[in-house]
Amino acid sequence: MIAPILERAHGALTAAGHPVDVQRAASSAVMLCSRYNGRAVVGIFHDGAAEPFVIVKIDHAKPQKARLRREHDALSALAERPDLKGRVPRPVAFFEHGPALVLIQTALRGTTLSVLLRRRLRARPAVSRNEHHRVSDFLETLRASAAADRVVVEPNIVVDTLESLLVDPNEDPMLPQQLAAFRRDWPTVELPVMAGHGDLSPGNIMMHADRADVIDWEGGTYRRPVLVDIVVFLYRYALAHPDPLSVRRRTRGRLTGFRRAFLGDGWLACLSAASYCREIRKLNIPVQAADFLLIATMADLATGASVTHRPTSPRSRQFWTNALRTYLRQHDSSSLLRELGQ
């Protein structure tokens, strides 16, 4: 199947500086993953190369085709940015092939952060701090090209959302009092709305030459409240990081990754809180609002209001609802409050 696709894209590959012998390229094709039904992701390698030079994404199902179109639109826009050259894939060809939609894009050098984390035999806080900083620096570069819009985040609206999601007097008898205190004490904050990624997990971050580059732009580059990406990244990083007790990820569950990022006094929770506050300060947001904005961001994720890879996925919304409930129940042990001295 890959040979006729490469034949059709031959001119675009040549124009992009990747002249190919279709037969040889097809013989070097390697299936990299097939996460969804009806999807194939194929890497094309030069002879003897350890890394592919292009990635071919092929989708047959309607939902995946829509995401592939978003990715093509995002990469086309990012390709105009000289400050992101070599840091995001560049679209090479985009076309229909029979019932399939095909996107060919350049491959990025390096190793995904998820693979690096799996190889790690022990926790190394200094290395993790460096990785957090590199991801934050990429986000800063991504957001640098345009002035931000602003959105007002009001305590009453956030608390109303929390009540609609969480309040069950039989299950959480103390929660109404807690939310009433939030409604009284939280400040109103203006939050920047800027370009983002929407699925900033370690599997989408390529580590190379002491920097973080980013792939898989199916969430688009739509403007969104700026804290979504860092909150998703810190949770997913903690989920992927080697457990000190060597407990398998699927055994400990996704909420354990959230707890490791935002609750307790472990080194990873402390690092996550420091990285989150660093992002707040870089965005010129009052750091005193950090806890409020974390809860507001999770509420947006739980309702599907955030612009992410799959914002309305029932599984994603249920996870963030459970994460919210967990965070509020254990609010006194928030690593973020400890970082803020509260």
pLDDT of residue 179: 92
Which residues have a Cβ under 8 Å from the Cβ of 122 and sit 6 or more positions away? 242
pLDDT of residue 34: 64
What are 301-337's pLDDT values in tens digits?
A: 999 888 777 777 888 999 999 999 999 999 999 999 9
Q: Compute the residue count for the chain.
A: 342
pLDDT of residue 249: 47
Asked, colleague to colleague, whether 2-106 and 111-340 share their fold, the answer is no
C-alpha atoms less than 13 angstroms from C-alpha of 342 in its C-beta half-sphere: 15
Domain ranges of the chain: 2-106, 111-340
The token duo for 335 is 């690593």
The answer to whether domain 2-106 has CATH 3.10.290.10 is: no
pLDDT of residue 251: 44
pLDDT of residue 22: 72
Of all helices (H) and strands (E), which one includes residue 39? strand 39-44
Tell me which residues of the chain have a pLDDT lower than 70: 26, 34-36, 146-147, 169-170, 243-252
Which residue intervals of the chain are DSSP H helices? Answer: 2-8, 10-15, 22-27, 62-78, 113-119, 125-142, 155-166, 175-185, 227-240, 249-252, 254-262, 267-282, 290-303, 314-329, 335-340
CATH code for the structural domain at 111-340? 3.90.1200
